[in-house]
């Protein structure tokens, strides 16, 4: 399907409106499908319907698209048919009349046909028809110029006209085909042909056409004023300009050499559809214009085809049978025909036939009275829609073009342009002509009253002088006449300065004067949003949208309100409506806000990819928005998309963004993308712009560190710290240099200095805690983390690390306190959950341990480490069978899990399966040799076996643990005292009492106050006959456990040796009462004491009790002898 105006193919998928109209991508006309005849119907209409087929066969002449066949292209304002009015199919008066009229009008087809015959071999020179106009021609490179298209004006194509002219065939002229001459134009009408969908205003008072601007203009921030220098594309190819030949020229009527800026409304960014409307209005309704209705074959299915069936015309095939006319004659006839047509047309205008008035120097006059001036429609502007402003601008420009000396029009236009620039800065900046027009109109404007200061205020705002503008407009508000526009501007300045309360007051005052001032209402809502008073903003916006449903700014603001209220679906719906409705380049601020809302929604939903897509779209709407570029760049860098981050930031950098934060991120992105040259250049730029900033020396150090130049990096970081002792990043980076060199202590010192300089820094405290944890300085790490959590109680990472630090110090109750609270907040990760499970087990909360570890034990997604801990939890709860099943599954499925073998060995030991326990524990130590607790448990089980090999192996394991502690300088807080205690027991069994005593003392240093260690230490001293030293330890035991059987017994032994029989009796009585089976010797000693004091009855009872527990041995024989003597006496 082809356009009936320009002949280009139509995209049937681009339907506009409910009636299915299509818009042509070339000439932008609106066409209903039922207006256009398909190619098949055209071909069936006869050989003269279109000249394209004939031209295709002619050498040297390109085939042109089929001519339009439908509609009436009328420039008679009094006869315009609106495109929303149903038009019945035309009644064809006479096919011969229609066809003949088309042949007379189509000069283009005639010229092309003759040129192809008479100029074969000559270079192709465009030879197109000229339609005289009252408007001057545009310059060649003027972007506002409409593309000349004779078919769009003449609208028809007739083949065979050359034959009629050359061969003498005449067309019938039935009916009243001759138009009646008019005073100011030529009115030619060939019947009631329907309208084609392009309507022109009837007068300047009619509703102005909406201006359609080109897409793709640069976008700027909402508060940017003025134009931008950039190059507009040509509206058409200069090769399409109308011409006769290389040398021929037509004389230009007066006024055609004026600048085109005086003839076109609203700058240069005008859509071709509106240009067509403007072109038609000036050409055919202005002074000296044409009044012309040109028919075009409708092509409606019910109408007869427009073919010359009643005329005996020669067919194209008949040309070869006749003798062709001389080429010179043909050319002369063409020129004569062309001159005749042009002369006749000019004769109907004020220029006279053949333009005689121009040659005779006669001044042309217009009989049309100037249209009455209509001021700006304030009620229309108060709707606060860009289109309303632009419509009035176009209207006023046309008035000013007709009445250039009218100062009232110039003043109205000047003020309107200023207000347009202030209210819609992006749209104004997209049209460079706006700033030029304001400058040109400034000396011609004649403002009075408040409007003088209003104009000055707007210009000061455009220059960024907001304080001066506020003083001026505030003085006007207090001294001048009450004017809503004055309060509106006052509020706008307050809003720019983020003085929300003052802005609200000003906008409310404006609304008290003019309740329908929707601009004040809109910015009142924005002020409430600035105050985070979203409920108040919602009420204002609902009122605005009720009055102006398609107010894009209000819709975008409402999307922000919905987002703030967590109505995510509503926010997305409103934002999408803004994006789809807005016009790119002119509504970019509203679209930008909508994209940001969409990005925030996706961020809340955790969809990073969709969020980045919306942020990219936001940058497309406002490429210079630094905050959006930084947000997108950080997300991309964090996600490892280095190249994309650099690509997203580079356009913003090229547009002039150079803040500290932006340059910092740009350097990081460039370095990540291996663009070090670009990064270094940006660092130099930042150092020049911000000479006192520590950011850029720090960035330079990061580049040196990445290159492996640690010394240069350290110097750069130290320089940054010297420039700004509170610059956190420099401390962190300098510490990284120390860590990379293996100097953890120096790294901790650097971070400690940073914490001292910036005690509130979460980053420094966390990094210091990590390094102290790595150094196994757990108490210090704990202190850093506790301080951090005082600053930020909800810092999940710090809480998780604190749990591990506390576990390393065996502070299991505190682990449970910290991590159980984090579990309720959903902040546990896998490792911290396992840590909490182990803490539950250590605090005998087996059920809680099972619950939390069971969540990690899954057959569908097995986590064998977690399953091993789950097996241990089952073991602690007494479910031996379940624990053994789980642990056996783990060691089969993942034989590298040392913890599973360890727990399985402990389970075997508890079940009395010592040999199996030892084998499992040996495998655990082999898999994880640095797990000292595994070796200690293994040594314990080996000591239980008691054989020589087992004892020797146990000593090897314990020696390995102790040497590891000493070699690695393992802090005392995480050393296991059992290593020394067990080795001391082994040495005691071997009679190596001094070495045993040394190990017991070392164990007591790690676990001071342990009763068992105090007792063993005293015993080792007693075995060395160091009785006085031994008594000291036994007394410590008795202070903690007064009825400790062993301490009482050995204290009694020492008392007997020292002759303190009374104390000895007391010690022995306590020991015999506490553990007679463990210490039967206490009874033997007690009997001897009673015997020495003559208490024979008590002595006999003691001897008899002794024999119950120990009936063999020398002491038993002694007890029997003493009992026998007593009985004998």
- Tell me, yes or no, whether 309 lies in a domain: yes
What's the token pair of residue 865? 């480490």
The answer to whether the beta carbons of residues 1076 and 1105 sit under 8 Å apart is yes
Rounded Cα distance, 334 and 328, in Å: 10
Query: Max Cα separation, the chain?
Result: 180
Final residue before a domain boundary, out of 745, 771, 793: 793
Question: Is residue 809 situated within a structural domain?
Answer: no
- Look at the block and give the residue holding tokens 């509503």: 570
DSSP secondary structure string, 486-521?
Answer: HHHHHHHHHHHTT-HHHHHHHHHHHHHH-TT-HHHH
Type and span of the H or E element at 659: none
Spatial neighbors of 231 by CB under 8 A, at least 6 apart, are: none
- CA 1076 vs. chain centroid, Å, equals 80
Residue 604: both structure tokens together: 């809340």
C-alpha–C-alpha distance, residues 476 and 452, integer Å: 10
Q: For tokens 């082999």, what's the residue?
A: 926
Long-range contacts of 638-641 (CB under 8 A, 24+ apart): 639/608
Residue 364 to residue 1076: CA distance in whole angstroms: 142
Of 753, 777, 793, the residue that ends a domain is 793
Q: How far is residue 779's CA from residue 772's CA, in Å, rounded to a whole number?
A: 9
Q: How far apart are CA 940 and CA 958, in angstroms?
A: 10
Q: Are strands 15-16 and 72-74 parallel, antiparallel or unpaired?
A: unpaired
Q: How far apart are CA 883 and CA 866, in angstroms?
A: 13
The residue with tokens 């206490």 is 1082
Residue 296 has a pLDDT of: 42
How far apart, in whole angstroms, are the C-alpha atoms of residue 1077 and residue 81?
Answer: 124
Nearest Cα neighbor of 903 from 887, 925, 879 is 887
Give CA–CA dist 672/636, Å, rounded.
11
Contact in structure between 523 and 589 (CB atoms under 8 Å): no
Per-residue pLDDT, 726: 93
Cα end-to-end span (Å), the chain: 145
Q: Which residue numbers in the chain have pLDDT < 50? A: 37-323, 363-368
Q: Return phi, psi of residue 294, to 5°.
A: -115, 125
Which burial class, exposed, middle or buried, applies to 576 when counting CB atoms under 10 A from its CB (0-12, 13-18, 19+)? middle
The answer for residues whose C-beta is within 8 angstroms of residue 979's C-beta and 6 or more apart is 932, 936, 939, 958, 961, 962, 965, 1003
The pLDDT, as a whole number, for residue 340 is: 67
Inside any domain, residue 719: yes
Give dist(CA 291, CA 1100) in Å, integer: 151
Domain count, the chain: 3
Whether 286 is in a domain gets the answer yes
What pLDDT, in 10s, does the model give residues 801-835? 999 999 988 899 999 999 999 988 888 888 898 89
| Model pLDDT, residue 240 | 39
Residue 654 contacts residue 682 (beta carbons within 8 Å) = no
- Sign for the CA dihedral angle at 1121, 1125, 1126, 1127 comes to positive
> Which backbone phi and psi does 878 adopt, to 5 degrees?
95, 0
Q: What is the number of helices (H) and of strands (E) in the chain?
A: 53, 5
Do the Cβ atoms of 827 and 800 come closer than 8 Å? yes
Residue in the structure block whose two tokens are 């030949």 = 245
Do 934 and 961 contact (CB within 8 A), yes or no? Answer: no
293 forms beta bridges with: 74
> CA-CA distances (angstroms) from residue 452 to 382, 392, 458, 480, 485?
20, 21, 10, 11, 12
Q: Say whether 356 sits in a helix, a strand or coil.
A: helix
| Tokens standing for residue 9 | 């193919």
Q: From CA 6, how far away is CA 32, in angstroms rounded?
A: 15
Between CA 68 and CA 3 the distance in angstroms is 7
Distance CA(351)–CA(288), nearest Å, equals 8
* Radius of gyration for the chain, computed over Cα atoms and rounded to the nearest angstrom: 51
d(CA 690, CA 685) in angstroms, rounded, equals 8
521 burial (CB, 10 Å; 0-12 / 13-18 / 19+) is buried
Backbone angles phi, psi at 537, to 5 degrees: -60, -40
The secondary structure of 93-140 as a DSSP string is S-HHHHHHHHHHH-HHHHHHHHHHHH-TTSPP---------SSPPPPT
- Measured CA angle at 342 (ends 341, 346), to 5 deg: 120
Domain contains 954: no
Q: How many residues does the chain have?
A: 1129
The model's pTM: 0.49
Tell me if 737 sits within 8 A of 717, measured CB to CB: yes
939: CB partners within 8 A, 6+ apart: 954, 955, 957, 958, 979, 982
147: region left, alpha or beta (phi > 0 left; psi from -120 to 50 alpha)? beta
Cβ neighbours, 10 Å, residue 542: 13
Full DSSP string of 137-178 = PPPTT-TTPPPP-HHHHH----TTHHHHHHH-------SS-S
Is 1111 a domain residue?
Answer: yes
Q: Are 6 and 149 in contact (CB under 8 A)?
A: yes
Among candidate residues 759, 793, 827, the one where a domain is terminated: 793
For residue 1099, give the CATH number of its domain. 1.25.40.10
CA-based angle 18:19:20, to the nearest 5?
90
Cα separation, 661 vs 717, in Å, equals: 18
Does the residue 321 lie in any domain? yes
pLDDT at 352: 59
On whether residue 1078 sits in a domain, the answer given is: yes
Give the C-alpha separation, 662 to 693, whole Å: 14
Range of the domain at 716: 692-793
Chain-centre distance of CA 792, in angstroms? 27
């Amino acid at each position: 399907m082809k356009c009936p105006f320009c002949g280009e193919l139509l995209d049937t998928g681009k339907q506009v409106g409910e009636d299915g109209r299509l818009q042509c991508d070339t000439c932008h006309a609106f066409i209903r499908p039922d207006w256009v005849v398909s190619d098949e119907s055209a071909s069936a209409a006869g050989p003269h319907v279109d000249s394209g087929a004939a031209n295709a066969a002619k050498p040297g002449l390109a085939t042109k698209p089929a001519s339009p066949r439908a509609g009436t292209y009328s420039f008679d304002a009094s006869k315009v048919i609106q495109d929303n009015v149903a038009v019945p199919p035309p009644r064809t008066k006479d096919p011969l009349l229609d066809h003949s009229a088309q042949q007379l009008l189509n000069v283009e087809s005639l010229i092309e046909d003759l040129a192809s015959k008479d100029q074969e071999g000559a270079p192709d020179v465009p030879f197109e028809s000229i339609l005289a106009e009252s408007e001057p021609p545009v310059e060649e490179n003027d972007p506002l110029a409409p593309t000349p298209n004779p078919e769009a004006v003449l609208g028809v194509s007739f083949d065979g006209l050359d034959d009629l002219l050359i061969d003498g065939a005449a067309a019938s002229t039935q009916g009243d085909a001759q138009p009646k001459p008019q005073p100011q134009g030529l009115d030619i009408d060939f019947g009631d042909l329907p309208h084609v969908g392009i309507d022109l205003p009837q007068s300047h008072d009619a509703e102005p056409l909406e201006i359609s601007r080109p897409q793709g203009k640069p976008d700027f921030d909402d508060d940017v004023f003025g134009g931008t220098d950039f190059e507009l594309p040509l509206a058409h190819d200069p090769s399409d300009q109308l011409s006769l030949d290389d040398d021929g020229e037509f004389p230009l009527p007066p006024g055609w050499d004026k600048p085109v800026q005086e003839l076109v409304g609203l700058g240069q960014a005008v859509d071709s559809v509106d240009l067509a409307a403007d072109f038609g209005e000036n050409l055919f309704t202005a002074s000296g214009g044409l009044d012309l209705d040109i028919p075009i074959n409708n092509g409606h299915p019910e109408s007869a085809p427009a073919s010359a069936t009643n005329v005996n015309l020669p067919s194209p095939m008949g040309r070869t049978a006749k003798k062709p006319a001389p080429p010179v004659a043909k050319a002369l006839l063409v020129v004569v025909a062309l001159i005749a047509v042009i002369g006749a047309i000019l004769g109907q205008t004020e220029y006279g036939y053949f333009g005689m008035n121009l040659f005779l120097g006669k001044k042309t006059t217009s009989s049309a009275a100037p249209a009455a001036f209509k001021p700006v429609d304030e009620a229309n502007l108060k709707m606060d829609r860009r289109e309303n402003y632009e419509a009035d601008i176009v209207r006023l420009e046309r008035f000013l073009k007709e009445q250039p000396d009218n100062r009232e029009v110039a003043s109205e236009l000047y003020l309107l342009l200023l207000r347009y620039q202030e209210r819609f800065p992006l749209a104004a900046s997209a049209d460079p002509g706006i700033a030029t027009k304001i400058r040109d109109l400034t000396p011609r404007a004649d403002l009075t009253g408040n409007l003088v200061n209003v104009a000055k205020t707007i210009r000061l705002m455009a220059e960024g002088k907001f304080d001066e503008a506020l003083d001026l407009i505030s003085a006007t508000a207090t001294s001048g006449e009450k004017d809503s526009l004055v309060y509106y501007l006052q509020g706008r300045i307050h809003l720019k300065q983020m003085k929300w309360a003052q802005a609200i007051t000003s906008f409310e005052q404006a609304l008290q004067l003019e309740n329908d001032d929707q601009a004040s209402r809109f910015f009142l809502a924005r002020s409430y949003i600035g105050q985070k008073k979203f409920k108040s903003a919602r009420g204002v916006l609902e009122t605005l949208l009720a009055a102006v449903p398609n107010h894009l700014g209000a819709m975008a603001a409402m999307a922000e309100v919905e987002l703030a209220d967590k109505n995510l679906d509503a926010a997305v719906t409103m934002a999408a409506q803004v994006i789809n409705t807005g016009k790119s380049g002119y509504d970019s601020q509203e679209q930008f806000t909508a994209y940001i809302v969409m990005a925030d929604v996706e961020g809340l939903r955790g969809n990073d990819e969709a969020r980045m897509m919306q942020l990219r779209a936001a940058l497309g709407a406002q490429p210079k928005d630094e905050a959006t570029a930084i947000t997108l760049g950080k997300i991309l860098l964090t996600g490892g998309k280095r190249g994309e981050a650099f690509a997203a930031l580079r356009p913003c950098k090229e547009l002039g963004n150079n803040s500290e934060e932006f340059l910092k991120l740009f350097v990081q992105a460039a370095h990540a993308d291996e663009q070090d040259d670009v990064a270094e250049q940006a660092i130099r730029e930042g150092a020049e712009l911000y000479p006192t900033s520590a950011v850029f020396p720090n960035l330079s150090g990061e580049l040196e560190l990445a290159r492996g130049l640690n010394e240069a990096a350290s110097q750069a970081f130290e320089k940054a710290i010297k420039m700004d002792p509170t610059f956190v990043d420099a401390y962190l980076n300098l510490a990284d240099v120390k860590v990379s060199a293996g100097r953890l202590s120096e790294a901790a010192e650097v971070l400690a200095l940073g914490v001292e300089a910036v005690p509130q820094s979460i980053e420094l405290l966390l990094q210091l805690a990590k390094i102290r944890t790595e150094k196994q300085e757990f108490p210090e790490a704990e202190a850093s983390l506790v301080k951090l959590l005082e600053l930020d109680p909800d810092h999940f990472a710090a809480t998780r690390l604190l749990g591990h630090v506390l576990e390393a110090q065996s502070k299991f109750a505190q682990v449970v306190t910290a991590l159980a609270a984090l579990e309720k907040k959903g902040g546990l990760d896998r490792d911290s959950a396992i840590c909490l499970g182990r803490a539950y087990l250590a605090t005998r909360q087996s059920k809680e341990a099972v619950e939390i570890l069971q969540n990690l034990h899954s057959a569908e997604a097995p986590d064998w480490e977690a399953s091993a801990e789950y097996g241990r939890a089952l073991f602690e709860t007494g479910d031996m069978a379940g624990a053994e099943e789980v642990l056996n599954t783990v060691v089969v499925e993942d034989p590298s899990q040392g913890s599973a073998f360890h727990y399985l060995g402990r389970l075997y030991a508890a079940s009395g399966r010592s040999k199996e326990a030892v084998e499992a524990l040996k495998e655990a130590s082999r898999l994880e040799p640095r797990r000292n607790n595994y070796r200690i448990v293994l040594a314990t089980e080996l000591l239980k076996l008691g054989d020589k090999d087992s004892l020797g192996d146990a000593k090897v394991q314990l020696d390995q643990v102790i040497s590891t502690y000493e070699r690695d300088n393992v802090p005392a807080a995480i050393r296991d005292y059992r290593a020394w205690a067990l080795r001391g027991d082994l040495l005691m069994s071997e009679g190596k009492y001094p070495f045993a005593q040394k190990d017991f003392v070392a164990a007591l240093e790690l676990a001071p106050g342990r009763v068992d260690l105090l007792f063993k230490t005293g015993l080792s001293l007693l075995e060395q006959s160091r009785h006085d030293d031994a008594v000291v330890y036994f007394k410590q035991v008795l202070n903690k456990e007064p009825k400790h059987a062993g301490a009482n017994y050995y204290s009694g032994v020492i008392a007997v040796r020292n002759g303190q029989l009374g104390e000895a009796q007391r010690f022995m009585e306590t020991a015999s009462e506490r553990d007679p089976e463990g210490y039967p010797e206490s009874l033997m000693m007690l009997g001897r004491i009673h015997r020495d004091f003559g208490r024979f009855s008590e002595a006999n009872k003691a001897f008899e009790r002794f024999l119950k527990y120990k009936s063999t041995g020398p002491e038993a024989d002694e007890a029997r002898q003493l009992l026998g003597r007593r009985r004998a006496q």
